[in-house]
Amino acid sequence: MKITPELAEEVGWHIGDGSMNFYNNKGFYQLRGHIEEDKAHYLLRIKPLFERLYGIKINLREMPSTRVFGFQIWNDNLVKLKKNLGLPLGKKFDIKKSLCFTAP
């Protein structure tokens, strides 16, 4: 996948508010922000950009018990692609400097 400014932006969202892993050999990805403060950004920027980049439809929703807004999706190919970009599975303790993309 070609590194574009939009992909770099989405990777930044992942580093800040996303997580992914494999559970029972199935890829799980989630991106969630504050239920009130981030909702408009998810609706107006994150959803359309994510769908355009990856060709995956996402359903945004409120998760009141944890006070977050965003989405969760089971998708092996997405998790594999993000892992190939250098994003870690599980906790994000070790983000590689190589993820600091430069604009073309």
Q: Give the end-to-end CA distance of the chain in Å, rounded to a whole number.
A: 14
When pLDDT is averaged across residues 10-25 and rounded to a whole number, the result is: 92
Q: Which CATH architecture has domain 5-99?
A: Roll (3.10)
According to DSSP, the residues that pair with 68 across neighbouring strands are: 34, 63
- Tell me the pTM: 0.84
State the pairing for strand pair 68-74/26-34: antiparallel
DSSP state string for 36-96: TTSHHHIIIIIHHHHHHHH------EEETTTTEEEEEEE-HHHHHHHHHTTPPSSS-S---
Alpha-carbon distances, residue 34 vs 67, 74, 91 (angstroms): 6, 22, 19
Chain-centroid distance of CA 41 in Å reads: 14
Q: Which H or E run includes 26?
A: strand 26-34
Mind listing the pLDDT tens digit for each residue in 22-81? 999 999 999 999 999 999 999 999 999 999 999 999 999 999 999 999 999 999 999 999
Query: Which pLDDT score, from 0 to 100, does residue 3 have?
Result: 83
Query: Which pLDDT score, from 0 to 100, does residue 87 have?
Result: 87
DSSP state at residue 16: H
